[in-house]
Amino acid sequence: MINERRLGRTGLSVSEVGYGAWGIGGSMWLGAQDDESVAALHRAIDLGLNFIDTAAVYGNGHSEKLVGQVVRERDERIVVASKIPPKNLQWPAADGTDPDDAFPADHIRKWTERTLTNLGLDVLDVQQFHVWHDNWLERPGWRATRQEMEKLSMEGKVRHWGISINDHAPETALRALADPIFETAQIIYNVFDRSPEKALFALARERDLGIIVRVPFDEGALTGAIRPDTTFPEGDWRHRYFRGDRPAQAAHRADALRELLGEEAKTLPELALRFILSRPEVSTVIPGMRRAEHARANAAVSDGRALSPAMLDRLRAHAWDKNWYLD
């Protein structure tokens, strides 16, 4: 069974390996089949997974509907997290945008209630802003938005609030996360991108934040599945992400990591997950699992065995260059 950790000061006990439900939405990540997705969700829960992260925009609500279907069929207590898209649909959040362009109060309520309808649930465990920029805190509209968040909590529709932080930019949410209304932070953290180690993890310890880690496999690069000739169809998120010579670069990086496989980790996905779970600040990591065998393999890593300090030191040499992610 999967080990559990505390989701920061929410007090929720969550499986340290959770379920990332972007890939089952049917858009942006192409190729998902609903029957396989539902089977994977059930298999993951059978193995002890009790945390699922989805979002309103994943397949225009389709991911939420599949997640809700499965959660309602199960007797186990499943912690469900979702996300509100910015009104202006801009990812990442631009420095100069106003909070009323992204998360006005009425938008927060409308999308939270839409998510509850999609899920078929009365209350959402964790509701997250799907993007963020700390400059919004200084704008007049933020006060009304925060008041609406408090109302939704008082009405029993949202138990806890969090932020899904801009890709590769944890520094854009540090001030907001000092506000007690935010209890969780969702971040990109993996062997290649170690940026949360600079300041975010220290804040997480200080504020007792629940840390949810997404993109543990760097969109597939850390599984070794991306090769120099790998291509994706237009409309698939990875078509843009692995553009130009990036498949070749990703393959080169993965091949270098294969030299570290052995007793501590036998596969690249196992190495990637063990790296993340070696950090005590992490509450849960949410790889995508569109097939039951993915759920089994990911759950098997939750055995309480962290990577050795020597291995973690060796992995430091494989940390990313931020320019690799820029246009």
SS (H, E, C) the chain: CCCEEECHHHCCEEECECEECCCCCCCECCCCCHHHHHHHHHHHHHCCCCEEECCCCCCCCHHHHHHHHHHHHCCCCCEEEEEECCCCCCCCCCCCCCHHHHCCHHHHHHHHHHHHHHHCCCCEEEEEECCCCHHHHHCCHHHHHHHHHHHHHHCCCEEEEEEECCCCCHHHHCCHHHCCCEEEEEEECCCCCCHHHCCHHHHHHHHCCEEEEECCCHHHHHHCCCCCCCCCCCCEHHHHHCCCCHHHHHHHHHHHHHCCCCCCCCCHHHHHHHHHHCCCCEEEECCECCCHHHHHHHHHCCCCCCCCHHHHHHHHCCCCCHHHHCC
Q: pLDDT tens digits for 162-180?
A: 999 998 899 999 999 999 9
CA dist 13 and 79 (Å) reads 9
* Residue in this structure with the two tokens 């192409």, named with its chain if needed: 30
Lowest mean pLDDT among 38-42, 116-120, 278-282, 323-327: 323-327
* Residue in this structure with the two tokens 């090769």, named with its chain if needed: 227
Mean pLDDT within 104-115: 97
* Residue in this structure with the two tokens 């829960």, named with its chain if needed: 45
Residue 323, pLDDT > 70, answer: no
Mean pLDDT within 223-239: 89
Region of residue 85 (phi > 0: left; psi between -120 and 50: alpha; otherwise: beta): beta
* CB crowding 236-248: b at 16 or more within 10 Å, else e: bebeebbeeebbe
User: Between 326 and 86, where is the model more confident?
Assistant: 86
Rounded to whole angstroms, what are the CA distances from 286 to 136, 155, 214, 298? 27, 29, 5, 10
CA dist 308 and 282 (Å) reads 17
- CATH number of the structural domain spanning residue 265: 3.20.20.100
Q: pLDDT tens digits for 53-84?
A: 999 999 999 999 999 999 999 999 999 999 99
* Residue 30 confidence class, pLDDT cut points 50, 70, 90: low
* Residue 33 confidence class, pLDDT cut points 50, 70, 90: confident
Percent of all residues in the chain with a pLDDT value above 90, rounded to a whole number: 82
Mean pLDDT within 3-7: 98
Q: pLDDT tens digits for 201-221?
A: 999 999 999 999 999 999 999
Q: pLDDT tens digits for 290-315?
A: 889 999 999 999 999 999 999 999 99
* Residue 319 confidence class, pLDDT cut points 50, 70, 90: confident
Q: What is the pLDDT of residue 91?
A: 85
* Residue 94 confidence class, pLDDT cut points 50, 70, 90: confident
**Both structure tokens of 234:** 């237009």
Q: pLDDT tens digits for 127-151?
A: 999 999 999 998 888 999 999 999 9
Please tell me the total count of domains within the chain.
Answer: 1
Mean pLDDT within 236-244: 86
Task: Report whether 168 contacts 322 (CB < 8 A).
Answer: yes
**Both structure tokens of 80:** 């469900």
Mean pLDDT within 272-291: 96
What range does the domain containing 244 cover? 4-325
Task: Report whether 253 contacts 221 (CB < 8 A).
Answer: yes
Task: Report whether 16 contacts 3 (CB < 8 A).
Answer: yes
Region of residue 156 (phi > 0: left; psi between -120 and 50: alpha; otherwise: beta): left
Torsions phi, psi of 275, nearest 5?
Answer: -60, -50
* Residue 325 confidence class, pLDDT cut points 50, 70, 90: low
Q: What is the pLDDT of residue 324?
A: 61
The chain-wide mean pLDDT, for the chain, equals 93
